[in-house]
Amino acid sequence: MNGKPETLAVGQLTERKDAWWLEPLLTVVVLVSFGIYALYVALVNRNYEWGPYLSPFYSPYIQASWWPFSPAFLVLWVPLGFRATCYYYRKAYYRAFFWDPPACAVSELRKSYSGERKFPFVLNNLHRFFWYLSVIVVAFLAYDAIKAFFWQDGFHVGVGTLVMVANVVLLGYYTFSCHAFRHLAGGCMDCMSQNKTRYGLWKWISHQNERHALWAWVSMFGVALTDVYIRLVATGHLTDLRIF
Ligand code: FES
């Protein structure tokens, strides 16, 4: 050993022998599957509601006479834009789709780096604005979940109600553990102790932010599974169990 870092031979990506490719592969499979499922759900434009339940892909439900396509498309661009510009997902898809780099100690494929200054990646800088819009969407989903408790002039708790509540909770953790929200809560303060409320909020967000990747994945599965459940009930393949 002469103290110099070892260099890889040309064309050799890495000297790692473990399954470093597994994580990027799984990321590609899951993200592509979710994208295809979201597109399918939006295109079919039916079986997205049953009784007091409404699929999260169609909430808030916007009926516009001037819009000839599925109403899901009027809403979906917000959560999809939010996730596509998310700091965590950026790391995940840059690694998985662009091999930029795909894993630690594995070479990158591209030769130059232009950051996020060119289209379409420059759009990632809009993340904070997608956060504002996503908070509105989560508020509508919370309203849908609360509304599901009141059905047919009475109090109603079905498995679907609990599924919708769980979906809102998971999305809430994902949305409010966002890096942009953390900056919003704790930014532009010379001294944190000046504002105890903001400091307390910043500390809570920072704590949740450490699990942001977990909330990102779990909430994504939550959205898909909530839709699957409502869809199965709406098509008669499943009977919603009424608990109360
Ligand atoms: Fe992931 Fe904002 S950084 S949602």
Domain spans in the chain, listed from the N-terminal domain onward: 22-234
Provide the token pair at 130.
């997608």
Provide the token pair at 101.
């780099």
Asked if residue 94 lies in contact with residue 1, where contact means CB atoms within 8 angstroms, the answer is no
Percent of the chain at pLDDT exceeding 70 = 95
Question: What pLDDT score was predicted for residue 40?
Answer: 97
Q: Rounded mean pLDDT of 59-87? A: 96
Please give the Cα distance from 83 to 134 (Å, whole number).
Answer: 10
| 155 Cβ neighbours under 8 A, 6+ residues apart | 149, 244
Residue 98 in contact with ligand 1 by CB distance below 6 A: no
Question: What pLDDT score was predicted for residue 205?
Answer: 97
Could you report the per-residue pLDDT of 127-168, keeping only the tens digit for each?
A: 999 999 999 999 999 999 999 999 987 999 999 999 999 999
Atom of ligand 1 nearest to the CA of 134: 4
Rounded to the nearest angstrom, the distance between the alpha carbon of 202 and the centre of ligand 1 is 15
Look-up: residue for tokens 């509508």?
140
Question: What pLDDT score was predicted for residue 11?
Answer: 54
Pocket test for ligand 1, best of 133, 137, 179 (most atoms within 8 A of CB): 179
Could you report the per-residue pLDDT of 1-50, keeping only the tens digit for each?
A: 444 444 555 457 888 888 999 999 999 999 999 999 999 999 999 999 99
Residue 148 in contact with ligand 1 by CB distance below 6 A: no
Amino acid at 97: F
Please give the Cα distance from 177 to 202 (Å, whole number).
Answer: 10
Q: Rounded mean pLDDT of 68-91? A: 96
- Tell me how crowded residue 2 is: count the other CB atoms within 10 A of its CB: 3
Nearest residue to 52 via CA among 136, 139, 143: 143
Rounded to the nearest angstrom, the distance between the alpha carbon of 214 and the centre of ligand 1 is 12
225: alpha, beta or left, given left = phi > 0 and alpha = psi -120 to 50?
A: alpha
Rounded to the nearest angstrom, the distance between the alpha carbon of 11 and the centre of ligand 1 is 35
Provide the token pair at 35.
């994208």
Rounded to the nearest angstrom, the distance between the alpha carbon of 215 and the centre of ligand 1 is 10
Residue 178 in contact with ligand 1 by CB distance below 6 A: yes
Amino acid at 180: A
Atom of ligand 1 nearest to the CA of 82: 4
